[in-house]
């Protein structure tokens, strides 16, 4: 049984008890941007690399941003119990490989999963001590602007993601903490405190 820890008073991911933090938030809120900043501020933290059936975007590297797999391989991992959680999102499957997360926690490293709402709920069920954090946009208008401004999805996919975003924002009360991403650096600073144990849970 992995101890995901609570009440850690230390600022280091390698001291105190390791904790698992789930970061969720609507598409376009700035999860990747904030987590990139967090990565540089918290080098001891393990960041999970998800499996996905979504095709890579320009600039995305297999094994770094995601493990890009076909549906057959994804299903095999689910069937073999290799996923900590998984979900279907905007027509594709996404899942967290279980083993690397369990290894990191067992080795005393805190870990971060950047996943959507259904996955966050599954982690809450299977690892109740995990800390759930939702990243919020300063306003709905900001979210729409960021998602459309990124130009990685066509208008139908943007519409789907905004529909899902409304449901995700409505679920923020299920989360232990919320962080408003008005500014990437400040949001990452707040997240560092939560992930490394200076947070509220
Ligand atoms: N449940 C689950 N969701 C994931 C996982 N990896 C990524 N996601 C979520 O899937 C959604 C879509 O991700 P992506 O296609 O990269 O688009 P983006 O977040 O809009 O840039 C986001 O909400 C991610 O947080 C995973 O392993 N499990
Ligand atoms: N605090 C912020 N202020 C303004 N724009 C931002 C901010 N954070 C992220 N962005 C921009 O919003 C867009 C979506 O960010 P991204 O990190 O891809 O979101 P997500 O991973 O949540 O889908 C990107 O173009 C990014 O540069």
- Asked whether the beta carbons of 37 and 185 are under 8 A apart, the reply is yes
Tell me which ligand sits closest to the C-alpha of residue 116: 1
In a domain, 7, yes or no: no
C-alpha separations of 191 from 24, 133, 139, 176, 185 in Å: 12, 8, 19, 12, 10
Q: What's the DSSP call for residue 172?
A: G
Residue 13 lies in a domain: no
**What whole-number distance in Å separates Cα of residue 23 and Cα of residue 112?**
7
Residue 6 lies in a domain: no
25 is in an annotated binding site: yes
What secondary structure letter does DSSP report for 57?
P
User: Over 50: is that where the pLDDT of 9 sits?
Assistant: no
Complex ipTM value: 0.97
pLDDT tens for each residue of 46-73? 999 999 999 999 999 999 999 999 999 9
Residue 166 CA to ligand 2 center (angstroms) comes to 17
Q: Tens of pLDDT along 148-191?
A: 887 777 888 888 889 999 999 999 999 999 999 999 999 999 99
How many angstroms separate the CA atoms of 201 and 197, rounded? 8
Gap between the Cα atoms of 172 and 117, Å rounded: 9
Residue nearest to atom 16 of ligand 2 (CA): 30
32 is in an annotated binding site: yes
Would 143 be classed as within a structural domain? yes
- H or E segment at 23? strand 20-24
CATH number of the CATH domain containing 189? 3.40.50.300
List the domain range (segments joined by +) for residue 82: 20-196
Residues near ligand 2 (Cβ within 6 A):
25, 27-33, 146, 149-150, 181-184
Q: Is 7 helix (H, G, I), strand (E, B) or coil?
A: coil
CA 16 / ligand 2 centre spacing (Å): 32
Q: How does pLDDT run across 41-50, given as a tens digit for each residue?
A: 999 999 999 9
Q: Is residue 12 part of a domain?
A: no
To test ligand 2's pocket by mutation, which of 27, 28, 30, 47 has the most ligand atoms within 8 angstroms of CB? Answer: 30
Q: How many domains does the chain have?
A: 1
């Amino acid at each position: 049984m992995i101890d995901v820890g609570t009440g850690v008073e230390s600022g280091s991911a390698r001291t105190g008890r390791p904790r698992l933090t789930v970061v969720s938030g609507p598409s376009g809120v700035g999860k990747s941007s904030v987590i990139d900043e967090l990565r540089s501020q918290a080098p001891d933290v393990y960041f999970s690399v998800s499996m996905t059936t979504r095709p890579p975007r320009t600039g995305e590297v297999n094994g770094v941003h995601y493990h890009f797999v076909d549906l057959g391989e994804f299903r095999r991992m689910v069937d073999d119990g290799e996923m900590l959680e998984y979900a279907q999102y905007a027509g594709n499957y996404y899942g967290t490989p279980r083993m690397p997360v369990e290894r990191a926690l067992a080795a005393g490293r805190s870990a971060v999963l950047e996943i959507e709402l259904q996955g966050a709920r599954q982690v809450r069920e299977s690892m109740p001590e995990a800390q759930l954090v939702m990243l919020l946009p300063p306003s709905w208008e900001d979210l729409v602007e960021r998602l459309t401004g990124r130009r990685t999805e066509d208008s139908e996919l943007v519409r789907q993601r905004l529909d899902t975003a409304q449901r995700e924002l409505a679920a923020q009360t299920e989360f232990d903490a919320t962080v408003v991403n008005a500014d990437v650096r400040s949001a990452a600073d707040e997240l560092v405190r939560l992930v490394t144990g200076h947070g509220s849970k």
